[in-house]
Structure formats: structure tokens, C-alpha cells
Chain A
């Protein structure tokens, strides 16, 4: 396949580069190509290319692209690094040099990803308890200046805040939550510029994919590294596809870099995925492409000329989700699209299952075991094994806080011998109930089998707990009284593949389908997609970006369903959209 001029320019470019890539522009492909170009004549045995992305899925994608293209790079290892931006910062800055934050008893820091082990802190102030702060130390995280609570300034009138004291003591012991890792890393390289220099020497080339999802601190770290001597730093992204606000991501910093004179801004503006009709229809939803003077992305793929106008489906009251789907699948058939999970995707804004609650689990062991049940029967058995190992550790040995997976294994094997420990885990795995059971049935079966294992001495809780202390599920919920009647798997499923793919928008980021349906089923509610938000919501908001990502997935057929409305929808001009009613 011939490369476009834009792609060729990018391959040749060195220095500080921001690459702004529209959906379907083949960005992963060209990034992989750029990486291979480096690998082909790499001459430093102990310095490498860092290929970073926002999620593990995305970085695996890069790895696969590189290894699929050239057999010689089937395993990109030392001296290079492929992984998430988080793991890069953790491994090469915070974990390795974080001991410098401690005055005495220096240790390598530990990064805690979830508050599995019920960390709590003491407070004599009522407000701390009333606001549930003492129960949720994971809400608190350091910024470069002060302690924040869930991203915001701590709003209470306690003068000597117990949360601050507690977090300081954690820091002294080297315990860090992932959310604050970038801020602490940034502080570290500001105080020790030689670290930035050394990392820049270690990685003369750093490529960051999905750079629109970097947080303020992450971007600052990248800027520090660039100034500390990284030869080529490339930030690849699309500000219109930033979806991770809840993880402190915001496209603001990427946009800033696009306008920074010290950075060279390049574009990939051809869409190799969608038809021109789709490209035209989604233009009003892109903050970049809808600017005055900008044109829709130019469709250049094999389906560029596919002549199916995107459909805006108005759904009258009384019609169900099933009706919408039926209609959509019919449209697919009309357009000659075979129904399969690879070809057809139905997307929603949030959870794919409604009527489930987020706080059903009353002990960490319960949640872990439920997750293990799902993993073991439906998804990743290896991960299920590891999850069971963690539960067993928690039951038999104690709090695993701050321990890595390997450390848990080493400690347990020393305690029980490797064979015995393995057998214990396997016994537990075998006893995991099937997650197609309802929550209520699962609870009963799980409690029974744990209780049996305790009776037969297969499991010996270190604190003498009984099975019903270990397995605990919320008994009632006002909003969702029937939550216990839902299947366990619904609590963990992010994506279902039957004869089509049913997923949240987040779950299909970066993917391509022949046909896509975005279901918008609310008319009101904060942080919810509604026709009003779609039509007049600020293009810089995440909700619009979520819709944009969904609408830019299909090659041939795009359908958006909304509750029927009488107002004119200016962003859905009839020239570009085919209005239909169910």
C-alpha cells in the first residue's frame, strides 16, 4: 500500500512532534512502521525506544502490529520498552528512585492499585467519618502541590487533617496509590533533574500513543524528559477521542502541545476506515474538524464510496431496546453486511447491563471470588488463578497490601511449599460456582464450598473466620431492589459477543466494524448522553467525545438511535443524515 504524503513526512520526522490523527487514519499502523524503522538500524545495546500507550490493550496493539509486520521483531524486549505510560513512569522513575522521597529507612516504593485490603485511618473528627473519608483512603491522592480528594481540593474545615497526616505516613513507608504516581514522579524529577537526564539517555526515542489521554502531570513529565535530552519524542493522538476523564486524562494538554512552537504539529487527515458519507456526517462532532475552514476527513479506504447515508433513528415511547436492535440488524442485511461480532457493534455510553449496583460486595474476598468465578468460566483462566491466589493469601496469611504478585507467591510457597500452595489454589478454582448463577445463588454456593473447605482443613483462615464472614453481599438496595436476581457475570462483563458485539463505547476504542449502532436512550440526567447534549453540548466535553468515538467506528453503516424529539437537531443536518422513525 502506498503511503500518503502525510504519512511519509511523519516517518521521516525527528525531534519533538505532535501527531494529530483523525479516526481511521491508520495511526497505529504508521506508529508501528515508525518503530520498526528505528529497530531496523538501532545501534545502542543498552538504550532503547519507548513505545507507550494509555492502556494495556493499546500497547499490546502496538506490539502486535510491530511483530506482525516483521518477523525479526516478534519480541520487542530489552533495551526497548513497550507498555503503558503509567508503567513507564512507575518503572523508570517512581519505583526505582522513589526512595529518594524518604529520609530514613529508604525502600523501593510500592504502588497500590486498588484498595483491596480495607485500608482505613483514624480520626477524632465527626466530619471525617460522616464523609466516609476514613473508610476510603484511596480517595486521597497527592498533586504536585497538595493532597486532593478525588481530584478536588479537600473541602472540610478540619485544621490538622487526619487524611493528610495519614497519607504522609503512607508516603514515609513508600506506599503510593497509582493515581498519585505521576504527580510524585514529577516532583522527583524536578528535585533531581539528573534522573530526567538519565531516563532521556536510556530512551533517546519516546513515542506516546493515545497522547490525548495523558494527565497534566504525565504531560509535564514528558516535557521534562524532552527537555532533558530525548532525541525524538512523538505524541500521537486525537483530542476528539479523549475518554478517560475519570483517570485525570484531559485533551487540554495535547491541544496545548499542538500549538507549542517548540513542538512540530503534524496531521494525519485521511480516513481509511469509513465511507465519505460517514466522515461528512460526523464532522460537526469533532472539535478539530468543525473549526472554520476545516473540511471533513477525506475518506480514502476501500469503503470510501460506500453509499449508505448515516441513519438517525427516532424512537417513540414504548419501543424497547430489542426493537431498535432488530431494526438495526435489518438495515445491516439491507446493506449486505453479514451479522457477526466482528462486523456489527451495538454501543452504549456506560455499563452494558442496566439494573446492577456497584457496591454489592461487602468484603474484598467476596468481590475477588466473584471476579475469579467470572474469569475462570468466561474469560481469562490464568488471571482467575492469580485472583484466587490473592484471596487465599488474604484468608490464610493476612493483608497482602503492598505486596506484588510475585511476593505473594514467594511468601506463600515458603509457608506451605510450592506444591501444597498450588493445590490449595486449584481446589479453590474448582469450587468456583458458575457466574451464570444469580448473585443470590452464587452467594449460597460459594459460602457452602468455602465452608466445606474450612471444615476439611483445606482452608485455614488465619483469624479463625468462618465462611459466612468471608462471603458477604449487600442485603438490600433501595434503587435496585432486584440486584440479587442478576447474573454474577453481568457484574463483570464489559463486552458481550453473541451474534454481534454489545459493548460500551470505551470497550471498542480503536476498533473497526462494518456497522455500528449507538444507542442514546435517556432524555435527561447528568453525565448522560441525551439528544440535547448531542445537539448542543460543548464539543470540548467528554460526552460528545464518547459519541464521536462511537460514530467513527463503522466502515459502511452508522446508526444513532435517540428518543423521539420534535426539536430540530442542527448537528444532524438532513443533508448528511437519513432521518427514520421506528
Chain B
């Protein structure tokens, strides 16, 4: 059983139209840039379950009603939760028309009491039709555990009656006999410790003073002990320590040599690391290595292994993991009685470095592959996102001043797209899902230069939260489809624009326009190249992606021929490009400069430069780097005008960002 869908209307950031989030079995993540309502979804789920059950740890508040842009607060909100593979025990929320499914709905509304007080009431119903009652009893079968974003693992693990350790301990000790046994052990310990003189004395002192004050009025006395011998008290006193793996032992310790001699040379070096004054020991390994150790050595190892440190001495990240494993342990132990277990976590990545994040993801994944275990977390972590699988991502985004939701399982991708994306969406590319706008580009040159071009256009990408995604080729289709709703491809989600080359003159069949691969920049017949470039239509590849974009909200801007051709098509840019090329290839670069100098028209120059780079594509990256560096410098100095020069390599005019790039950048940075 799992939550397949949640719809929310008029709740916090979600407006009257609201959102529908789809979830899958197992682990799901809700992602978005900041302030798009990730926590609101989690809270809506918590409130929905809380409203329905006896145990309430979160309530619907007046401030939870959505406030419209005109400042008016709505007085009615809806939360609906849908399940799939529902257990037949959930009679009251079951849907006979879809026998494997179930749903319940809550309408919260505000009433004004005659005294003018505003109060919240709610109606809850099971199944698709309003009015069918849902009893709280059935929600006893659902175990929901929530780990908030600002969780403080140290505090949560600290001994207290409500600590997670206490809860786990109580669930694990599930019979009266087992509890009694534990209480008895403590009783014995208490009586042992009370035999000590010092404690007897403490007891006397307190009780004497007590009776002096009370003057026999209350006749109370106290008893001392470690913990009150009641199960709840013991559970509340339970605490965890960190056991270090490596323990340091000084060489001048009396038993040092005895210890060292108990092991072979190989065993010793493998499990220790010595420095001048002492040695780090892998206690556990050493202890398990040999059975017949001398008693003194055993004693030493045991004493050393008692070394431990408190949680507050531990790092935040590890404590967080410790906390999560305790909570999950508790859930697993009690899962037998629950028909559905739901773990909601806000930002599990908190305080964890990327590798640990991956481990945490694996941990969730392993735990949630049981039938009735679902995890939903919010995240800002591209690491987690790249791991989880596309279908399990719920993307929140803001568009036209309202927050909307695209569950990627509902996006317009087919099986092939999905396969490709699972491979493409690495940590870096996953960043795009946290952006407000995305520019998809073909290669390294565009990826390097676009951020600088945007600055030239006074639209710095970081300010507009735009990510440039280098798809390393031309397979834009999966990305474009991913960002579109399958049932409404024109609805804008995250603004996205594809920048690609139109690759004209590459159709071998068309002899009129095809430009042979073996033509280099110093060709005699540059004129025919220019003519061909002028006259033809874009490549089929471009046309098909262009056609796709017509049916989707994704914009596409194509370069005449290629990116480099477009750059070179502005005569002002030639000196910049030449400089970058000469830096990468001083000899060939200068030859190119010489050829260029002899050409007359701007079109010839552009064609020539393009031919040069086409044949030397492995230098593309370096050339782009050089150009980027130069442009960056120009941005900070910006000294114009500069003296005219006849040298083709002399920079005399400002760099011009090609028009199609300009449009592309504008398309993702325009403010509504």
C-alpha cells in the first residue's frame, strides 16, 4: 500500500487551483528551489493524517489558509490523499470502482462564532463521495513518522521519556515479562549500589533534613537509586554513546609490549598504526583476531574499548545518521502491527557530504522495498535527486506568480527518454531541477561562454537562477519532454530554452548545398561555401527538435550553421576569436589570421573561421576558455572607444552577443 497522489488546495502557498503531486512506491523526493512549498506538501500530508487519527501532533491553523495575491485569505481548504494497492482493511476509504485504490478527503473551513472568534472546522470523508464517515480507528493502522528539517539529533537522542531511543526500546520490549525482567535487573543494580556507604550516607542526610523541615507533617522520605525501577523510567534513561574504532595507546604503557607480542608482525601492522609515542589500535579487530589471549591483554583491550564519547562530541552529520537509523529501527520494529508505514523527512541531506548522502539514499531505498513502507522526503540535494529515479521526483516550481507541481512520473517522456535521462541526469545536470530557468546547450563552448554572454546582456544567470545544462550532443528531446506535462505539453513548468546549431549544409544527398568534410579554411573557393550557407534550410535533426518544441512550452533558438559561425558572423567579434585561437594554436592561428585578412566580406570571414574550427574541434574547449577569459576581463574594464587599427587581431570594438543567443537568454530571464 502506498500514497499515489495528494491534492492540496488553498493551503499556504498553494492557491485555489492547487496542486496534484503523484507519488510512487518506495522512496520519493519533493524538490524545488526555495519557497515553492516543499514543506507545505509534507505538512499537508501530516495534517491530513493527524486530522483523521486520535493522535494529533499537528493541527490546521488559521494561518494555513492560502492568502491570495490581493491579500484576501480564503476560508476553505482541501487536502485529499489517494492510495494504491490498498489493504482491504481500509474499508472506509476504499473505492469499489477501483478496488485496489482508496482515498480520503478533508475540507477545512472557517466559521465565525457569535462572539466574532474565528474557528476552524473540518469535514472528513472516505471514498470519492462526500459524507461517508471515516473513523479514527482505521488510522491506527497507519504509522507516520516525521523528521523535520531543523531536527536536532543531539536533543532527540538525549535521554527523555519521548526520546527516539525510548520509543524504540518500548516497541522492541513488547511483552510484560520482558519489561519485568529489565525492571528486575535495575532493581538489583539499585540495591547493590545502595549498599555502598557513601550512598547510605547521602540518603540519611537528605531524609534527616527533610524531616526537620516537614516536622512530621508530610512524613515523606526519599529513596536513592540509578533510575526509578519502572520500565518507562528505564526507557527514558536510555542513552547512546559513540564507540571509537581506533584507540590510542602510549608506548610507555606497562602492558604495551605484552599486547604487541601477542600478535604476529603481519597482524600487528594490519590493525595498528604507530607513531613515535604510541600506537592507534583497531580494538574490535584485535579482540576478535585471537581467542587465546593472555588475561592481562584481554583486560587491557576491554578497558580500552570502554572508551567512548558523548554525542555532542560527535559531528552533526554522523549524529543525524545515528538519529535516522534509530527512527527507522523503531518504525521497522513496530511495522508488523501497522498496515502502512510512512516516513516523511525534510532534507535528509542535512550536514551530510555527498558520499554519505548516497549511503542515506541507499538506506531508505533498502528499507522501503517492503510492501507497506513509503518514504517521502524534501531535498535540495542534486546528489539525492540523481540517485532516486525520475518517476519518484515531484517538482515544484513557480510560474506566473503561482506555485505548481509537476510529478516527473506524469511528464511527457517515453520509455527511451526515461532510460536516457536516468543515464544523463547526473549530479551536475540534476541542478537544473532546482532552477527557475534552464538553457540547454550542445557542448562545452556554449556551456563556458553562455554565462558571460548573459552578463554582457545584463542578465547574469545566477541572479535569475538559470542553469546552463550541457547535454554533450544533441539529444535534447528527453530533457524537453521531461519538463512538460504529458497531458498538457504547452503548460509552462520551469522555463526552458534549447540553444542548438541548425547544422545546415550537412545533407549528403543534397549535392547543391552539402559542404564536403575535407574542405579546410584555406580553400580557394570560399565563395561557394558562403553561397551554400546562405541558401539552405536547417538539418533534419534541427527540424525535428524544432517541431517538438512547437508542441511544447520549450523554446528553441538555432544558430545559423553553428555556434562558432554565429560568433564569427559579427565582424566586431573576429579579433576576439582570433586572439583566443592564437592562444590555443599560435602557428595555425596566425596562418588563419593571415587568410582572414585577405578576405573581403564578413560572410567569407565567418565561413573561413567556422571551417577552421570545424577541422580542429578538439581545440574548441580551449578556444572557448580563452575567449571566456578575455570577455570576462573586458567586462570589468569596459574601456571604449579604442583606437582604430588595421591589424585584424586588434580589438577595437565591443564584443557582440549573437542575436539568437540574446533571444535565448532573454527567454529564460524575462520577468512576467
Which A residues lie at the B interface, using CB under 8 A? 44-47, 78-79, 92, 95-97, 99-100, 106-108, 192, 194-195, 198-199, 201-202, 414, 417
Instruction: Decide: B96 and A100 in contact? CB cutoff 8 A.
Output: yes
**When the two chains form the complex, which single residue of A44, A106, A198 contacts B129, counting CB atoms closer than 8 Å?**
A106
B278 CB contacts on chain A under 8 angstroms? none
Docked Cα-Cα span, A42 to B403, in Å, equals 49
A45 with B130: in contact, given A78-B135, A100-B96, A198-B91 (CB under 8 Å)?
no
How many angstroms from the CA of A195 to the CA of B257 in the assembled complex? 78
Q: Contact: A108 with B129, CB < 8 Å?
A: yes
By a CB distance below 8 angstroms, the chain A residues around B131 are 107-108
Residues of A within 8 A of B90 (CB): 46
Mark each residue of chain B from 73 to 93: 1 if its CB lies under 8 Å from any CB of chain A, else 0.
000000000000000111110
B373 to chain A, nearest CB (A): 19
On whether the beta carbons of A108 and B96 are closer than 8 Å, the reply is no
Distance to closest chain A CB from B414 (angstroms): 33
A198 touches B94 (CB 8 A): yes
A417 nearest CB neighbor, chain B only: B114
Chain A residue numbers with a CB within 8 Å of B88 are: 198, 201-202
- Give the distance in Å from the alpha carbon of A92 to the alpha carbon of B92 in the complex: 9
**Shortest Cβ-Cβ A-B pairs, 4 listed:** A108-B131, A46-B89, A99-B129, A78-B137
Is B444 engaged at the interface, CB distance under 8 Å to the other chain?
no
Instruction: Say how far B167's CB is from chain A's closest CB, in angstroms.
Output: 20
Q: What number of B residues sit within 8 Å (CB to CB) of A?
A: 25
Q: What residue in chain B is nearest A106 (Cβ atoms)?
A: B129
Per-residue contact bits, chain B 600-644, to A (CB 8 Å; 1 contact, 0 not) = 000000000000000000000000000000000000000000000
* Listed A/B pairs (13) with beta-carbon separation below 8 Å: A45-B140, A46-B90, A78-B137, A96-B92, A97-B127, A99-B128, A106-B128, A107-B129, A107-B130, A108-B129, A194-B96, A198-B94, A198-B96
Interface flag for B141 (CB, 8 Å): yes
The verdict on B252 contacting chain A, using a C-beta distance below 8 Å, is no
Contacts of B129 in A (CB 8 A): 99, 106-108
- Determine the chain B residues whose CB is within 8 A of the CB of A47 once the complex forms: 89
Label chain B's interface by main secondary structure: loop
CB distance from A185 to the nearest CB of B (A): 13
Q: Is B138 a contact partner of A96 (Cβ separation < 8 A)?
A: no
Mark each residue of chain B from 96 to 110: 1 if its CB lies under 8 Å from any CB of chain A, else 0.
110100000000000
Do A96 and B140 touch (CB < 8 A)?
Answer: no
B137–A79 CB distance below 8 A: yes
Chain A residues with CB under 8 Å of B135's CB are 78
**Cα(A199)–Cα(B89), bound, Å:** 10
Whether A414 contacts B140 by the Cβ 8 Å rule is no
Compute how far the CA of A95 lies from the CA of B92 in the bound complex, rounded to whole angstroms: 12
Given contact pairs A79-B137, A198-B88, A414-B111, enumerate 4 new A-B contacts (beta carbons under 8 Å): A45-B140, A45-B337, A46-B138, A199-B91
B91, B99, B113, B130: which contacts A108 (Cβ < 8 A)?
Answer: B130
Q: How far is the CB of A252 from chain B (nearest CB, A)?
A: 31
B155 within 8 A of A: no
Please measure, in the bound complex, the distance between the C-alpha atom of A47 and the C-alpha atom of B113, giving whole angstroms.
Answer: 40
- Alpha-carbon separation in the docked complex, A106 to B125 (Å): 14
Residue of B nearest to A199 (CB): B91
Chain B proximity of A287: nearest CB distance (Å): 40
B132 adjacent to chain A (CB < 8 Å): yes
Chain B residues with CB under 8 A of A97: 96, 127
For B89, list chain A residues within 8 Å (CB): 44-47, 201
CB of A194 within 8 A of CB of B99, answer yes
With beta carbons under 8 angstroms apart, the residue of A46, A92, A194, A198 that contacts B137 is A46
Shortest beta-carbon distance from B336 to chain A in Å: 12
Residues of B within 8 A of A199 (CB): 91
Question: Which A residues are CB-close (under 8 A) to B113?
Answer: 417
Least CB distance from B76 to A in Å reads 15
A100 touches B141 (CB 8 A): no
Select the residue from A45, A79, A199, A414 with max chain B CB neighbours within 10 A. A45
Alpha-carbon separation in the docked complex, A195 to B95 (Å): 9
The smallest beta-carbon distance between A281 and chain B, in angstroms, is 50
Q: Which residues of B contact A100 (CB under 8 A)?
A: 96-97
Distance A65 CA – B141 CA, assembled complex (angstroms): 30
Nearest-Cβ distance from residue B128 to partner chain A, whole angstroms? 7
User: Which A residue's beta carbon lies closest to that of B121?
Assistant: A410
Within 8 A of A (CB), among B292-349: 337, 339
B92: chain A residues within 8 A (beta carbon): 96
CB of B341 to closest CB in A, whole Å: 15
B96, B132, B337: which has the most chain A beta carbons within 10 Å?
A: B96
| A46 touching B111, Cβ below 8 Å | no
Decide if B111 touches A96 in the complex (CB within 8 Å): no
In angstroms, Cα B88 to Cα A202, docked, is 8
Q: How far is the CA of A47 from the CA of B90 in the complex (A)?
A: 10
CB B600 to nearest CB in A, in angstroms, measures 76
B residues within 8 A CB of A78?
A: 135, 137
